[in-house]
Amino acid sequence: MLPLHHRRWSDRGTIRSKPIRLITEFQKRVLAAMVMLIRQRLGMVVMILFLPINGPLWRMGLESLGRPMPIDEFQFFVLSVLLFIFGAVITLAPKIKIG
């Protein structure tokens, strides 16, 4: 069995790859791109939801639902900054290779 990077030469001097290997490589690349997009989108949503300026909005939303905020303002600020940083890390982390 030939390694994945090995290609056969045709009579005309062009490179031809086996179709099965080409499809498998394409599927790996598409899957990696989809995983990256999902991870980056999740990171962006976390960053937008937990911007430190959104603290009063979260407090008003919970109070309108009849549930008071269980933590004080400074603790929520620290929590929102940590979650914002987590969102930034998963958004801006380098590409992960699969396989």
Determine the Cα–Cα distance for residues 57 and 65; give it in Å rounded to an integer: 12
Q: What is the pLDDT of residue 77?
A: 92
- C-beta of residue 73 within 8 angstroms of C-beta of residue 55: yes
- Mean pLDDT over 70-98 rounds to 88
Q: What is the pLDDT of residue 12?
A: 53
Query: 15-72: per-residue pLDDT in tens?
Result: 555 666 667 777 777 776 676 678 888 999 999 999 988 988 988 998 999 998 888 8
Which pTM does this prediction carry? 0.60
Q: What is the pLDDT of residue 66?
A: 92
- Given a cut of 80, whether residue 9 has pLDDT beyond it is no
User: Residue 32 burial by CB count (10 A; 0-12/13-18/19+): exposed, middle or buried?
Assistant: middle
